[in-house]
Amino acid sequence: MRTLPGVESAAVAVAVAVAVADAPFSGNGELNSFQIASRPVPAGEQAPTATVIHISDGYFSTIGARLIGGREFAASDRAGAPPVVVVNDAFARQFFPGGAVGQKLQFGRAPVEIIGVVHDIRQVSMSELARPTMYLSNYQNGRVQTTIVARTLGDPVFMGSTIRRAIWSIDADQPITDVFTFSDSTDRALARPRLLVVLLGSFGAVGLLLGSVGIYGLLSALVNQRQREIGVRIALGARPGDVQRLVLRRGLPLTASGIVIGLAGAWLLSRYLAAVL
């Protein structure tokens, strides 16, 4: 994939199940237990667990994820080389608040060195809390399904067809189950929040319309009740502007009180709505 014209960078994320892809917004990896080499688990206690995602070298730079410290996987991190792992920020904060790079974890017998810390990546939805996650090199610990991620210089849809043909030029029987852009993934992840935005915006517009109609009806009733008074004022020389100010003086306090109550209610509810959206 990296040799194709128009492909800026490419990498893979692999999953244990054929129906799962562990690219952002497409899957949540596996849940594995581990031990911290310098802190053996006491007898009778359970070992800590974290999400595990298997990726190749160049994965983080391809999807645009940034490293906080250390490095990401290199092509040399493969079978026969010392096993290494990259962890996310949530993992580092929970288990190594003093710094995670260089620390050792243990899966089974062999110690595994943490070589990098990456910013938290949303795997399922925008609103999910970041889970402690470990990233293992696909070349050191492979899985069944491969998801290719590619950063392209041109139209990603067109490049999808090019990548598909390149794969089939090597293995014509290789099944390709889906081709999608990162925009497609984010659209699916944001579908529910966007629907809530539309619904809440529509309810707000209806509420504003009803409030406007209510204020209009109230002022109209007040004017009708004071028709005789207004007629006398005009007969005594009052100008139209004086009559308008007379009516507005009755309506403005209602409007001002409604604005104050509405702003106070919006401020109190904003944190709840932020969590929903």
Is 14 within the bounds of a domain? yes
Given 124, 154, 187, the domain boundary residue is 187
Where b means 16+ CB within 10 Å and e means fewer, 212-237 reads: eeeeeeebeeeeeebeeebeeeeeee
Domain shared by 30 and 55, yes or no: yes
Task: Give whole-number Cα distances, 234 to 121, 213, 219, 239, 240, in Å.
Answer: 71, 28, 19, 7, 8
Verify that 81 and 95 share a domain, yes or no: yes
- Residue where one domain finishes, among candidates 187, 207, 232: 187
State residue 21's pLDDT score.
61
Shared domain for 183 and 196, answered yes or no, is: no
- Please tell me whether residues 15 and 125 are part of one structural domain: yes
Residue 222 has pLDDT above 70, yes or no: yes
Asked if residue 1 belongs to a domain, the reply is no
Q: How far apart are CA 47 and CA 110, in angstroms?
A: 16
User: Do 197 and 178 belong to one domain?
Assistant: no
Is 2 within the bounds of a domain? Answer: no
Residue with the bigger pLDDT between 181 and 87: it is 87
pLDDT higher than 90, residue 115: yes
pLDDT of residue 71 exceeding 60: yes
Using the 3D structure, point to which of 187, 221, 237 is the last residue of a domain.
Answer: 187
pTM for the whole thing? 0.72
Does 144 reside within a domain? Answer: yes
pLDDT, one tens digit per residue, over 118-153 is 999 988 777 778 889 999 998 888 777 888 899 998
What is the span of the domain harbouring residue 270? 192-276
31 with 163, same domain?
Answer: yes
**Number of domains observed in the structure of the chain:** 2
pLDDT one-digit tens code per residue, 160-173: 888 899 999 999 99
Q: Is residue 205 part of a domain?
A: yes
pLDDT band at 215 (very low <50, low <70, confident <90, very high): confident
Same domain, 214 and 150: no
Please check whether residue 27 is in contact with residue 121, taking contact to mean a CB–CB distance below 8 angstroms.
Answer: no
What mean pLDDT do residues 17-28 have?
Answer: 66
